[in-house]
Amino acid sequence: MDPELGWKTVHAEVWRIIKEDLKRDKDARELPELAPASDLERQLQRFLDEVNGTTGHVLGTLLFALSPPTHMSYPFRALAHVFASCSVVGGAGHGGVLVRSGPALSDELCETRLATGAVVKEVETTDGRLCYELVRGDGPAMGWDLLVKAQNTLEEDMLNRSGESTPVMAGAEKEPTEDEREAFRQYTEKFGECRDGSNPGYSRKAFPWFTGKPPQGEKLSAESLQAALSYRPTKKRLAKVNLTEVDSDREEIPLCTRCSLPVGEFAYQGREGKDTCVHTECMAQVLMKEAQREEEHRTTRENNKKLKNRRVLDEASKTVRVAATSRCPVRQEWELEPSASVNLEYLLLALKVRKSASREPLFSLDPIDPKNLENSPQKKAAECLLSLV
């Protein structure tokens, strides 16, 4: 084929080739049934016959050598458009490329990736996004993907199929000439050369050592020093805060010392003096803070008292001072707070149950007179403890 016509190699999928008639399968849209008439179309038909060795029904993938659309008749232009396919070259390190269900970036991603090396057929192209139909390989049967143009991919594929190889010249590093080496040598010899006649690099004169001088302070006279020592700063009186405001009627209205807002008809006397006023809500906050402050002081005093008593009674509460015998004298004493007292009888029974049965004691309320259950009072009985005792 004549390369001067500007022919280029395109990759196409052909389903059926019939002598002097090109047609797709019945489930796809058909091309106009036009027989080749021009020399280019006849050469193409002969090329197909040479590749396939037959003019009957053929299924497979072929490589067409087609001219630009200006030199191509309608059937072959339509054939190149309908049967155009692409090969996936990206995503080798991730198991393939991502595929979406639509052309927009907001569309959902497919569950599987389109495998690298798969062959797809172009269905639609929109804003650099390709709608494809899977022809060969692994991945979704249909979807949208980003279309990236690869340079010289089809030409290299055609050369690999034909067995021809293009030699690649390795760019060897150019060696410098003799003049360049001499110029570089003279340039390096000028480093460190002093052109003004002096030689500061070999000067043996050292800089003098730094000797710091003590700071000289200002001398004060005895009178100035005595006046500075005898000076006593005077206390500045704080400016009295204006607690009144003038309204539109030129009348003075007292202000609250806490929130600085006008006081209404009812107010409390403030803690600052007789001439101060406080709102009822502000007074409630003042009293609450005073109560909290007093409670904190009381808690602090009680804690200090407990610590002091603990230091005094610490010696008597040590275990080394407890009598070695199992018996110890106990005396009864009236307690002002009954809630803080201990029932010795209950304590004795509870200790016996804990020692023998390893559990808490069980008590029951039984009527004193079993015959008169409605009017008889109840008594506390410990049946389990009586059997143990």
pLDDT at 130: 80
Which residue is it, tokens 């609250």? 256
Q: Angle at CA 133, nearest 5°, toward 129 and 135?
A: 130
In the chain, what is the greatest distance between 2 CA atoms, to the nearest angstrom? 140
Q: Around 377, how many Cα atoms within 13 Å sit in the side-chain half-sphere? A: 2
Are the CB atoms for 82 and 112 separated by under 8 Å?
no
> Is 211 contained in some domain?
no
Instruction: Give strand pairing partners of 85.
Output: 121
pLDDT at 228: 87
DSSP assigned state of 53: S
Residues 363 and 382 grouped into a single domain: yes
pLDDT at 325: 61
Q: Phi and psi dihedrals of 331, rounded to 5?
A: -125, 150
For residue 90, what are the contacts with CB-CB under 8 A and spacing of at least 6?
Answer: 97, 116, 148
Neighbours of 277 (CB within 10 A): 24
Closest CA to 85 of 9, 13, 136, 147: 13
Distance from C-alpha of 199 to C-alpha of 222, rounded to nearest angstrom: 60
Chain segment 40-92, per-residue pLDDT in tens: 556 556 655 554 444 333 333 333 333 344 444 444 444 444 445 677 777 77
> Is 194 contained in some domain?
no
> Is 237 contained in some domain?
no
Residues 69 and 24 grouped into a single domain: yes
> Is 62 contained in some domain?
yes
pLDDT at 222: 86
Helix (H, G, I), strand (E, B) or coil at 218: coil
Residues 104 and 68 grouped into a single domain: no
For residue 167, what are the contacts with CB-CB under 8 A and spacing of at least 6?
Answer: none
Residues 10 and 79 grouped into a single domain: yes
Give the CATH number of the domain where residue 303 resides. 3.30.40
Distance from C-alpha of 66 to C-alpha of 148, rounded to nearest angstrom: 22
Residues 91 and 143 grouped into a single domain: yes
For residue 16, what are the contacts with CB-CB under 8 A and spacing of at least 6?
Answer: 23, 24, 25, 57, 58, 59
Residues 65 and 93 grouped into a single domain: no
> Is 234 contained in some domain?
no
End residue of a domain, out of 49, 83, 117: 83
| Residue-number span of the structural domain to which 372 is assigned | 345-389
Residues in the chain, how many? 389
> Is 270 contained in some domain?
yes
Closest CA to 87 of 110, 126, 114: 114
Are the CB atoms for 145 and 122 separated by under 8 Å?
no
> Is 40 contained in some domain?
yes
Residues 79 and 9 grouped into a single domain: yes
Distance from C-alpha of 345 to C-alpha of 348, rounded to nearest angstrom: 5
pLDDT at 4: 37
Q: At residue 265, what is the residue type?
A: E
Helix (H) or strand (E) holding 66: strand 60-66
Name residues of the chain where pLDDT drops below 70. Answer: 1-85, 147-173, 192, 194-207, 236-241, 314-326, 328-329, 383-389
Instruction: Give strand pairing partners of 118.
Output: none
Residues 56 and 105 grouped into a single domain: no
Pair of tokens at residue 266:
């009812």
Distance from C-alpha of 231 to C-alpha of 220, rounded to nearest angstrom: 16
Q: At residue 6, what is the residue type?
A: G
For residue 290, what are the contacts with CB-CB under 8 A and spacing of at least 6?
Answer: none
Helix (H, G, I), strand (E, B) or coil at 151: coil
Closest CA to 22 of 86, 87, 77: 77
Q: Phi and psi dihedrals of 143, rounded to 5?
A: 175, -175
Residues 142 and 107 grouped into a single domain: yes
Residues 71 and 94 grouped into a single domain: no
Are the CB atoms for 132 and 176 separated by under 8 Å?
no
Give the CATH number of the domain where residue 119 resides. 2.30.30
Are the CB atoms for 41 and 67 separated by under 8 Å?
no
Chain segment 255-300, per-residue pLDDT in tens: 888 888 888 888 888 888 787 888 889 999 999 999 999 999 999 9
End residue of a domain, out of 162, 188, 205: 162
Distance from C-alpha of 174 to C-alpha of 178, rounded to nearest angstrom: 13
Are the CB atoms for 40 and 6 separated by under 8 Å?
no
Residues 364 and 292 grouped into a single domain: no
Residues 270 and 298 grouped into a single domain: yes
End residue of a domain, out of 26, 49, 83: 83
> Is 74 contained in some domain?
yes
Number of domains in the chain: 4
pLDDT at 294: 95
